[in-house]
Amino acid sequence: MSVTLEGVHKEYPTSGGPVVALDRVDLAAADGELVVVVGPSGSGKTTMLRCIAGLEEPDEGRISIGKKDVTDVSAGERDVAMVFQEHALFPHLTVADNITFGLQARKEPGPVIAEKLDNVSDLLGLEGTASRKPAELSGGERQRVALARAIVREPTAFLMDEPLSDLDAELRAYMRAEIHALQRRLGTTTVYVTHDQIEAMTLGDKVAVMRRGRIEQVATPSDLYDRPANTFVARFIGSPPMNVVSAAAFGFGVTGSIGIRPEHITLGSSGSTRASGRVTHVEMIGHESIAHVIVNDEVVLVRVPRNDAPQPHSETGVHFADSNVHRFGGDGQALS
Amino acid sequence: MTSASARLAWPYLLGLGLLVFVPATAAVVLAFTDFTGIQAPTFSGTDNLRRLLEDEAFWRALGNSVIYVVIAVPLRLVAAVAVALVLHRRSFGTGSVRAVAFAPSIVPDAAWALLWLWLLNPLYGPLALAVGGVDFLTDPRAARIAIPVMSAFQIGEAFVIALAARSAIPRYLYESATIEGASPGFQLRRITLPLMAPVIAILALRDVIVALQVNFVPALIVTEGGPRYATTYLPLYIYRTAFRYFRFGYASALSIALFVITALVIFTQYRLAKRWRLL
């Protein structure tokens, strides 16, 4: 079922006056879609997820699941499942009891619970762990139990709050692929919150970029990368980030800024150069290197092949094609 | 132990030795003597032990103590945990209410006993009048209930420990349970109490030790061990044997008996808690 937020607003009182956590947010996840909400910490993404779950009450706005307005429906009756960053497994219960906690709470009959437990254990490869306690599991197994617990209730939507952030890099990449495959297989609408833009780009059908309680842009991962709506999105998506420099420095008018991705710039003194700069240092990151070049007092990052990296402290020409230039107005918004 | 910390430990060890181990050893030795405090103690072998086994007053005092523990410990535990669960959330005024819940524990025992002596007075005591003329001070059954009930309000330390245990349970466990449709009662049964169980078990162990001893002051001041010996608990019986009847040898034997009984109860409780995987 779809999940829709319309004009959802939430403020928290603090000693220094109210803080806006969500600033009239609109977001829609279509039935079966995986929408990733990404943003720096404090951008309001977790608050948004908690509002959808019913753990927080919005001050204004409407939240619907399917065609039903659930704004005033209690968390337990929204029929969504949430996977927490901390996994939220009960340390004193076995894997089986953890997975079936919600079914037991809803007093489902024993045989039904046993069958569902079997199915979901099968699906997630948790056979043989049923009688173990969370402390006896590896990080990946704990993560799978948390997922199994969400899946077993067959909810209308999954809400995931940075579910992979406690895992090490290797396991994170593996579980990311697993979550993606699982979501495709089950076809359950999912809202997934992360601060990791790589996770956002690889997982999302759609990605919403948040900053300071507002959604800056909602788009497919490739649109987000190719057509960022403003300088914040341009810098946030992509690693290393897009170079956003003053337009005047590169002869593109007098106001606003321009953005060029590090892979769209080449260095070298031959041919017609757009500008010249000085290489300050070069970072080797494996198959390629990132050169830091100072052009008209602005730092520009350039992806260069590892074997073709310039010497630090050398002077070089900077080349790029007009078609790869993103233009932004004085307010930081993209110019069409 | 480094030499500096050893130096710091000396005063403590000295105090422990002089004030605890020496008297305790003396009590063990005196338990095998006849000693009135006037003449020098004379060795009497196991006379005191034999006398103890045949002493009706001892068995009655032991029975009274058991009744006290059976009523007081569950009452105090339930009160401490319940108050902690109600007051663990921080909201307006919680701090003051927590202070109120703790307050009876800082009232001196003698003052607390005098307060209850007034509350339970059959002629003008508000509590006695409120429950329709039950005479707590002359009816043995009522007195057996009144004394443990008095102690159920002095739960300060247990309350603070239970509060800390409840606060240590992460909020996301409750949030995830709420999303899964678990009612507050289900959450209490399946999350809160099991996760607090080890702490509750420790509190129970500790409270049994305390309960076998703290009834001395209320029994002495409020009921004077009566009516009809109904509140003559072991500590009061030992005190009277020693300081009213000057039978220090026999009182020492009674003290050793109380020590052994406490140790046996604690050992049994500990084994049970281990078997139920609470500790």
Banded pLDDT at B80 (limits 50, 70, 90) = very high
Question: What tokens were used for B271?
Answer: 């084994």
Contact A53 B181 (CB under 8 A): no
Query: Phi, psi (5° rounding) for residue A66?
Result: 65, -130
Helical packing angle, B22-30 and B248-275, nearest 10° = 110
Banded pLDDT at B185 (limits 50, 70, 90) = very high
Is any Cβ of chain A less than 8 angstroms from the Cβ of B183? yes
**Signed CA dihedral, A178, A184, A187, A192: sign only:** positive
- Measured between beta carbons, the chain B residues lying within 8 angstroms of A86 are 170, 172
The Cα A281–Cα B132 span in angstroms is: 91
Is residue B9, in this structure, part of any structural domain at all? no
Buried b (16+ CB within 10 A) or exposed e, B10-41: eeeeeeeeeeeeeeeeebeebbbbbbeeeeeb
Is residue B166, in this structure, part of any structural domain at all? yes
pLDDT of residue A49: 95
pLDDT at B174 exceeding the cut of 90: yes
The Cα A3–Cα A79 span in angstroms is: 12
Domains defined for chain A, CATH in brackets: 3-227 (3.40.50.300), 240-328 (2.40.50.140)
Is residue B108, in this structure, part of any structural domain at all? yes
pLDDT of residue B79: 94
Is residue B3, in this structure, part of any structural domain at all? no
What is the domain count for chain B? 1
Contact B190 A101 (CB under 8 A): yes
Half-sphere exposure of A227 (CA within 13 A, CB side): 7
pLDDT of residue A255: 83
Nearest CB among B176, B182, B191 relative to A82 is that of B176
Is residue B94, in this structure, part of any structural domain at all? yes
ipTM of the complex, rounded to two decimals: 0.87
Q: State pLDDT tens for residues B230-271.
A: 889 999 999 999 999 999 999 999 999 999 999 998 899 889
A40: Cβ contacts below 8 Å, ≥ 6 apart: A195, A211, A236
Q: State pLDDT tens for residues B13-40.
A: 999 999 999 999 999 999 999 998 888 8
Residues (pLDDT < 70) of chain A are 271
Contact A91 B181 (CB under 8 A): no
- The CATH number of the domain holding residue B244 is 1.10.3720.10
- Measured between beta carbons, the chain A residues lying within 8 angstroms of B175 are 53, 55, 75, 82, 84, 88
Is residue B189, in this structure, part of any structural domain at all? yes
- Measured between beta carbons, the chain B residues lying within 8 angstroms of A90 are 173, 190-191, 195
Nearest CB among B170, B179, B190 relative to A76 is that of B179
Which residue is it, tokens 């993209």? Answer: A334
Nearest CB among B179, B186, B191 relative to A53 is that of B179
Interface of A with B in 140-169 (CB under 8 A): 149, 153
Contact B181 A54 (CB under 8 A): no
Nearest CB among A80, A90, A93 relative to B179 is that of A80
pLDDT of residue B92: 84
Banded pLDDT at B182 (limits 50, 70, 90) = very high
Average pLDDT, rounded, for chain A? 91
Instruction: Please give the model's pTM, rounded to 2 decimal places.
Output: 0.85
Is any Cβ of chain B less than 8 angstroms from the Cβ of A84? yes
pLDDT of residue B274: 87
Q: State pLDDT tens for residues B200-210.
A: 998 998 999 89
Does the N-terminal peptide bond of residue B227 adopt cis geometry, omega within 30 degrees of 0? yes
- B71 in Cβ contact with B145 (< 8 Å): yes
**Signed CA dihedral, A102, A108, A110, A116: sign only:** negative
Is residue B41, in this structure, part of any structural domain at all? no
Is any Cβ of chain A less than 8 angstroms from the Cβ of B188? no
Chosen from B91, B171, B174, B176 to mutate, greatest number of chain A CBs within 10 A: B176
pLDDT of residue B122: 83
A112: Cβ contacts below 8 Å, ≥ 6 apart: A103
Banded pLDDT at B1 (limits 50, 70, 90) = low
The count of residues in chain B is 279
- Measured between beta carbons, the chain B residues lying within 8 angstroms of A76 are 178-183
Q: State pLDDT tens for residues A16-27.
A: 889 999 999 999
Q: State pLDDT tens for residues A20-78.
A: 999 999 999 999 999 999 999 989 999 999 999 999 999 999 999 998 999 999 999 99
Q: State pLDDT tens for residues B210-232.
A: 999 888 898 999 888 878 888 89
pLDDT of residue A65: 93
- Measured between beta carbons, the chain B residues lying within 8 angstroms of A80 are 179
A71: Cβ contacts below 8 Å, ≥ 6 apart: A58, A61, A62, A63, A64
Nearest CB among B181, B182, B194 relative to A92 is that of B194
Q: How far is B179 from chain A (nearest CA, A)?
A: 5
- Measured between beta carbons, the chain B residues lying within 8 angstroms of A53 are 175, 179
Is any Cβ of chain A less than 8 angstroms from the Cβ of B191? yes
Q: Show the domain range for B240.
A: 56-275
Cα end-to-end span (Å), chain A: 34
Q: Phi-psi region for residue A79, left (φ > 0), alpha (ψ -120 to 50) or beta?
A: left
Is residue B205, in this structure, part of any structural domain at all? yes
Q: State pLDDT tens for residues B103-149.
A: 898 999 999 999 999 998 888 888 888 887 778 888 899 899 999 99
Q: How far is A218 from chain B (nearest CA, A)?
A: 27
Neighbour tally for A84: CB within 10 Å: 22
